[in-house]
Amino acid sequence: MKTRWLLCCVLAAPVFGNDVPGTIVELGSFERLEASGVSYAAGRLAVVDDTLNSVFLFDAGGRFLGNLDSERLPTARAKFEDLAFHRDTETYFAVGSHEGWTDESLRQLSVLLEFRFDSLDSIEHASVRQLPLWEGFDELGLWKPKGMKIEGLAVDDSGQTLFVGLRQPSDLARVYSVSLASLRGGEPKVTLLLEFDAGDAEDTPYCISAMTWEPVLGGLLIATSTEQEPSHRFLGNRLWFAAVDAAVVPIRAGGGAAGQAVLVWDRFDEGMKAEGLALGAGKLFIVYDNDQDDTRIPSRLRVVPMEAVFETLDLRLRYVAP
């Protein structure tokens, strides 16, 4: 009989302050780039942007490689807020903010696209599809003017489930799941997977701003960021891990079970706004939007060896027979 192993971990105290590991570089030198989501594939980073509404390619060190032909995307004004990538099918998912002040702006920004690249590293026109994610949130009563704002998107290894993180409502951090089959079939069923109090910095709430699937632990890395309005002052970010795979068993009480979020890094990179997370080649990539158009702070990239993330989690893999 095939033995099924369970993965166990011990979760230690989070890292505080700005002493998180890794290096930071400026992300290209575009005047208005505000990097709002990132994915890693084959040594390169694809970055979406919520000001120019385009897709950019960088190498894993943050050097600019090219600007994809976003005219192939059916909307140029989606206000893209995150990007997810499914490796086996080489499929990207780009999500608009699904926010709006009026019915018209709500419709304009309620976009979920899937697409692939062609052999020339452009978007393969025939692969572009729109998926009706908004219908699932409409059923929940959230899809309405001033009702919601999407900031995080992730896809699991199986390519069956999309995870959607909301920045607003901002009373709690909330992650929803939806099967890709239901989205592609035109009848999406969006369900609440996780909600937690992400806390605040100087009374400014931490809100979800990015997500990515973590395949070793079978869960989500989630970034929450802070922003004071209207000054665009960023008070720091928090990184969380939330187990989704039920086989991840927490040893220590207080976090780690499916349906709970564990704080990994507390209040890191003050003065910047984390907006995108990606994993690849043993590294965690964090992109910072920084609202360059208003603040003049350029978008930046932090590259972190993944073992440093696991060290912070104080991860001790233990194999337990069922």
Could you say whether residue 109 binds Ca ion (CB under 5 A)?
no
Which CB, 182 or 237, lies closer to Ca ion?
237
Structure tokens, 118:
């062609």
Find the part of the chain contacting Ca ion (CB under 5 A) among 32-40, 124-132, 188-196, 232-240.
Answer: 32-40
CB–CB of 118/124 below 8 Å? yes
In whole angstroms, give the CA distance from residue 47 to residue 299. Answer: 11
Task: Work out how close the CB of 53 gets to Ca ion at its nearest, in angstroms, rounded to a whole number.
Answer: 14
Which CB, 30 or 288, lies closer to Ca ion?
288
Label residue 250 exposed, middle or buried (CB < 10 Å: 0-12, 13-18, 19+): middle
Which listed residue (11, 153, 210, 248) binds Ca ion by CB under 5 A? 210
In whole angstroms, give the CA distance from residue 140 to residue 294. Answer: 34
Q: Which residue minimizes CB distance to Ca ion?
A: 275
Task: Work out how close the CB of 82 gets to Ca ion at its nearest, in angstroms, rounded to a whole number.
Answer: 4
- φ, ψ of residue 42 to 5 degrees: the values are 50, 50
DSSP symbols for 53-119: --EEEEETTS-EEEE--GGGSS-S---EEEEEEETTTTEEEEEE----SSHHHHHHH--EEEE-B-T
Stretch 126-155 residues interacting with Ca ion (CB under 5 A): 151
Which CB, 9 or 284, lies closer to Ca ion?
284
Find the part of the chain contacting Ca ion (CB under 5 A) among 86-94, 156-164, 178-186, 204-212.
Answer: 204-212
Stretch 59-98 residues interacting with Ca ion (CB under 5 A): 81-82
Which listed residue (34, 214, 275, 291) binds Ca ion by CB under 5 A? 275
Structure tokens, 105:
């702006």
Could you say whether residue 36 binds Ca ion (CB under 5 A)?
yes
**Site residues (vs Ca ion, CB under 5 A):** 36-37, 81-82, 151, 209-210, 275
